[in-house]
Structure 1
């Protein structure tokens, strides 16, 4: 099978790169299984295991797809999909606007994410854990961490700072800065909170190795949560709100889910979770190989002539402004 991934962001991944990281690891896993993969992405991209084609701006998608591609896998909703006349799949990675129709062949990234769009079609994201290296379970872990785009209000970095402060632990913020002007003018004075910025690569992995837990009190329905499974991989229990996909990712043995600041702070203070159980949760359920297996089943259904939905899926209610009990 020859699959063409189409995305608006370049590859390989730099720093955060959520969607890019997923389709990179998915493509690599498919190649390992004997399939052919190509990427249609912005100019300047490169890949050592797949062909890379540069997007030609202003040219219809149908005219940019090589003739030998079996299935086109979009990572966004293409405006001229009706002209494609090729088997396709679109992964909806984020929360779409309310009542905005999505393509009939749309798949989501968690059960909750699908359900909120009136669908049952989903494939969990997974990562190539070999690229993350071994975990040092004996390393001292003096701080907790927050991982995400702190400038996004729904990620609630201030809630993470408050929980860490109440619990009496230091906090490392990965994905934000001490001075945040994107949310008005916000400066974090506490010296118990450190900021690593939009960090990636080995620096990010080393910081996760040194953490005793992820504090992640998001205020929206998280579609999936790469930050969660990355943290679990490094043996970090998760202290988060119970929104979106998070109950699907974090079983009771691997963390505490609550919309209450006090309850999360108490859980952080008490700790007591098994780092190896957290690691196993990530590797057993959210690997790139498992993700590839899920997508291959859907690819084959589409190639066999099935349409995933009888009518366009659409999000039924707002995913934001969820309760945070202070």
Structure 2
């Protein structure tokens, strides 16, 4: 099978990345399974296991699909009729009611359900690209992982949690102590340090020293690669019960609450969680092979003339509040 993977990004990922990291792992796994993959992505991209075509922003996507492609995997919204069978992975959130494509795939069960759909594939990663976690090494801090300038990620809440503990420390991966984009946020606590936007070995080294991820998001998280990457490195999750989190984080690998005091108490008991269980759970469930197998099933449906949804997915309920509850 020849699969064209389309995304408005540059590959491989340079820093943290989200969709870029997922499509890279997916393509690599598909190639290892014997399929042919071509990327249609932004200029500056390169790949040693798949052909790379550069998106021409002046032309419709349909005009750029090679004739020998069997199925198109869009990670962007289609801009017209596709000349080949296709699916559309929807990675984000919208807060207005509009019909999505009948061949839409969401990234978690909760994500799909919020749009009246049952079509989803969990994100997986190629864990061979990550170092083997040091599960028995000393760990001395917790971490926040995400774009700290994005208010729904709630870095302020993560700082609140850590300062409510007696002496725990927090490293913010994805932000700076002074942030003008958040209306001049200045964090003074000496128990909080900032690593900026990190990726690659720098990021994984920091995760190796962490006792857990503090992830108090204030939106319905579609999936959350920060969760699976942290778990893989043996870090339990302390977050809010929104979006995909109850689906991904069961009681043996984390604690969920929208109450900062309850989360602080759970953080102080982080040693009760098994690092090995966190690691093995993620390695077994959220890997690129399982993701690729699930997508191959979706490809077969559309190649046989079927649709992934009986009706157009559509947001079931518009969220009236700007941020979900945080106490």
TM-score, reference length from structure 1: 0.97
Cα RMSD of the aligned pairs, angstroms, is 1.0
Q: 2: CA distance between counterparts of 1:293 and 1:300?
A: 11
How far 1:248 moved relative to its partner? 1.1
Matched, 1:197 2:199: no
**Which runs of structure 2 are paired with 1:1-326 in the superposition (5 Å)?**
1-80=1-80, 82=81, 84-167=82-165, 168-271=167-270, 272-318=272-318, 321-325=323-327
How far 1:79 moved relative to its partner? 2.2
> What SS does the aligned partner of 1:109 have?
coil
Q: 2: CA distance between counterparts of 1:184 and 1:77?
A: 32
Runs of 4 or more consecutive aligned structure 1 residues displaced over 4 Å after TM superposition: none
Structure 1: state its 5+ residue gaps: none
Q: 2: CA distance between counterparts of 1:146 and 1:93?
A: 21
The C-alpha deviation readout for 1:160-187, integer Å capped at 9, x for no partner, is 0010111231000000111111111111
User: How many pairs align?
Assistant: 323
Q: 2: CA distance between counterparts of 1:184 and 1:293?
A: 45
How far 1:85 moved relative to its partner? 2.9
Q: 2: CA distance between counterparts of 1:85 and 1:231?
A: 40
How far 1:19 moved relative to its partner? 0.2
8 A contact 2:11–2:45 mirrored in 1: yes
Q: 2: CA distance between counterparts of 1:191 and 1:262?
A: 20
Q: 1: CA distance between counterparts of 2:188 and 2:279?
A: 33
The C-alpha deviation readout for 1:190-220, integer Å capped at 9, x for no partner, is 1111111110010000000000000000000
TM-score, reference length from structure 2: 0.97
Query: CA 1:251–1:76 in 2, change beyond 3 Å: closer, same or farther?
Result: same
